[in-house]
Amino acid sequence: MLTLGLVASGVGAAYWWEKQLPTRLDQAAKAGRLDDCLLFGEQLSALRWLGGQAPLELSRCRRLKAEQLWLAQQPAQALQLQRLLVNSGNSTPEDQQRLLTWQQQLETEALSLYRRGQLDRALAVLKSLNADQNPQGTALGDQLREDWSRNRFQKERAARLIPQERWWEALDALNRIEHPWWKQHTQALRQQVEGGIEGLRKRDHGEHDSHGGLGSNVPEAQLSRLVSQKLSQGLDDWQAFSQACAELGGQVIEDGPETACRR
């Protein structure tokens, strides 16, 4: 009988507290005490098994707090509350649109940071969206990491080829770089490669002059384009140059260390 009496007393106290919560919750919201508002709302939600109704009050708290957090530059916490609001079954179309707008703004910010070369900051922004990584490797953050690594690999590939004077292959590597930041930070390498290719052309012209002034009539722009295409197909430097020269109706002429394509 004592235990039963305690249970009845506890239920009674809980029921009394449930009746107090809506007023306290409303007062907290009006006073801008949103943390108290959330606390009272969660407590009221937990007491719904006694017949109380919490969603409307709790949704109001979440809506106000989420907006406050967003304005305070705390997007992860803001999105968490906004998601709870949208998934509560008691949200408005405006709540759902706000969640979508915030998510789009963060994704745009992350992509902007990435294009400026700030991968880590971009991933931090995506983390607040739960889009920085997933086990399948299909999250936006995973895609950015992969793209970053691909551009870095081509930069490192060009840097390895330059000391070997494999200019066409180095140029192919640099041409595969698409990221704006990596393009900017490989300009010095590109200048080296273009200088190396120009040196080859000057040596070719010198060789033509030494053979009675017979200049090459193979269009240089077409030759360069074809060589790049052959390299992208997996051919090595020599194979690419030879096949490109042949397709333009020329022949590879060798004289010591010099090589030229002549018709």
Q: Report yes or no on whether pTM surpasses 0.85.
A: no
pLDDT for position 17: 54
Mean pLDDT (whole number) for 75-100: 91
pLDDT 10s digits, 2-59: 454 444 444 445 555 556 676 776 677 676 677 777 777 777 666 665 444 445 777 8
Residues 6+ apart with CB under 8 A from 216: 204, 205, 208, 250, 260, 261, 262, 263
Between 217 and 145, the more confident residue is 145
Give Cα separations from 126 to 83, 115, 151, 210 (angstroms): 16, 14, 21, 62
At 253, is the secondary structure helix, strand, or coil?
A: strand
Q: Looking at the DSSP assignment, which residues form a beta bridge with residue 261?
A: 252
List strand residue ranges (DSSP E) for the chain, in order: 251-255, 258-262
Q: What is the mean pLDDT of the chain?
A: 80
pLDDT for position 199: 82
pLDDT 10s digits, 169-201: 888 899 999 999 999 999 999 999 988 888 877
pLDDT for position 102: 96
